[in-house]
Amino acid sequence: MPRIFPERSATMTNECRLSRRAGWAVGQPIRYLMQEALSRPELISLAAGFVDQETLPLEATQAAVDHVLADRPRAQAALQYTSTMGDAVLRELLLARLEAADGAALSGQDLAIDRVVLTAGSNELLYLLGEILLDESDIVLCPAPSYFVYLGGLANLGARSYGVAVDQHGLIPEALEEALQQLDSSGELPRVKAIYVCTYHDNPSSLTLAAERRLQIVETARRYSRHGTIFVIEDAVYRELRYFGTDIPSLLAADPDGSTVIHTSSFSKTFSPGLRVGWGILPTALVEPFCNQKSNIDFGSPHFTQQVMAAILQLGLYDQHLDMLRDSYRHKLEAMVGSMEEHFRPLSHVSWLPAEGGLYVWMQVAGVDTGSTGPLFRKALDEGVMYVPGIHCYPQEGEPARHDMIRLSFGVQPAERIRAGVASLAQAIEEVSPLPTP
């Protein structure tokens, strides 16, 4: 059912004539979740997907800043504008890192830094991609569930998010095929501009798209690109946060000529969100439209933090930090799952997906409305714990939204507070009777 866009929202008075887009931006869950957490500091928030304050890389950043500033020409360049695409040294380093991670799998690609763009975090990149690809009512197919800030960005652009089912191996290729077929039959295929997938340790589900599905998804996108390219946006922001199992090649590596997959990532989760350095590897055809759009906004993201990140990589500080971070998050994930086993096992209507990395555990409380106006959310707040209601993570159309899901994050809290938060959540769940499931 296509979304109906309001002409005006309640905030649009005659005096303050905001755009329709401003109206579409209201009601994003992130704001009330943050407000609730800030106004009640005693709450154990298992909601925020922030990184751990205690492991932020103070010394490494100091060393890199000193390194950049000690070299006068480099310091002067760093304090000057850069190109719209961003610092060339960092773009080279990022490409080399991706080539090392994907190895032979990337060999068919014509990869060069003129396809690499730097942005202020990957959200900016995702949003700008929306601006250059999507007109109002255009469609992006997304896993159900998906990263809710991305879904909010699509709504803000007036675009439609269309959910595709997932299983324990991530987005289901047959479900993607079926969704595309349906859209084709209803005459809406020309509106489909992209497929978005967070390919490693997804937010919120922690699912990694199985290696054997990657080629199939790119192939499906290409087969349905009859009215123009359907791009596949690979959000790889959690790739380097793997605590168990082994890495697999990117979705970009499954794109034979680099014309379909847009690869995006960021240093926010693996180093520091405050530095705001994200990047994308774009199909050549998108580079110019992307830069045109970006240059109307800022003609280049902050050069200084790009240079600092380049120095961090060059000095070997990034990999050192990653090793420490993975150990820390592995421990926290074990604390979360361990206490979930302990407290939830007796509750037969509670289940969750295994997580091998990232920052989240995705759980179900079957038959219980987990939304912010439902009985569990309030009870959980009363017990002193907050989570992200899963309902926010569902696209507007397609695969139906589930009302009984929860995203828990183990990133921010220390292990003992994670255990206490899970115990409190179990207490709240025990106080709410599930409705019989049909």
From 45, 84, 109, 203, residue interacting with ligand PLP (rule: CB under 6 A):
203
Q: Where does this chain touch ligand PLP (CB under 6 A) — which range of 35-43, 121-129, 167-175, 206-214?
A: 121-129
Total Cβ atoms within 10 A of residue 154: 26
Give min distance, CB of 254 to ligand PLP, in A.
Answer: 19
Give min distance, CB of 253 to ligand PLP, in A.
Answer: 19
- Using the rule CB under 6 A, is 173 a contact of ligand PLP? no
Residue nearest to ligand PLP (CB): 121
Give min distance, CB of 49 to ligand PLP, in A.
Answer: 5
* CA–CA separation, 170 and 248 (whole Å): 14
198/254 with CB nearer ligand PLP: 198
Could you say which DSSP state residue 114 is in? G
Distances (CA, A) of 194 to 141, 188, 220: 6, 13, 12
Q: Which of 104, 369, 360, 27 is nearest to 208 (CA)?
A: 360
State the Rg of the chain over Cα: 22
- Using the rule CB under 6 A, is 143 a contact of ligand PLP? no
Q: Are 262 and 140 in contact (CB under 8 A)?
A: no
Q: Which 371-430 positions form the footprint of ligand PLP (CB under 6 A)?
A: none
Q: Count residues near ligand PLP (CB under 6 A).
A: 13
Site string for ligand PLP, 1-40 (x = CB under 6 A): ----------------------------------------
Q: Which 231-270 positions form the footprint of ligand PLP (CB under 6 A)?
A: 235, 237, 266, 268
Please list the alpha-helical segments (H only) found in 234-368.
284-297, 303-314, 317-344
- Using the rule CB under 6 A, is 344 a contact of ligand PLP? no
Compute φ and ψ for 396, nearest 5 degrees: -70, -30
* CA–CA separation, 254 and 267 (whole Å): 23
From 57, 86, 121, 283, residue interacting with ligand PLP (rule: CB under 6 A):
121
Q: Where does this chain touch ligand PLP (CB under 6 A) — which range of 118-126, 160-168, 174-182, 320-328?
A: 118-126
Q: What is the dihedral of CA 258, 110, 154, 123, to 10 degrees?
A: 150
Length of the chain: 438
Contacts to ligand PLP by CB under 6 A: 49, 121-123, 147, 198, 203, 235, 237, 266, 268, 273, 278
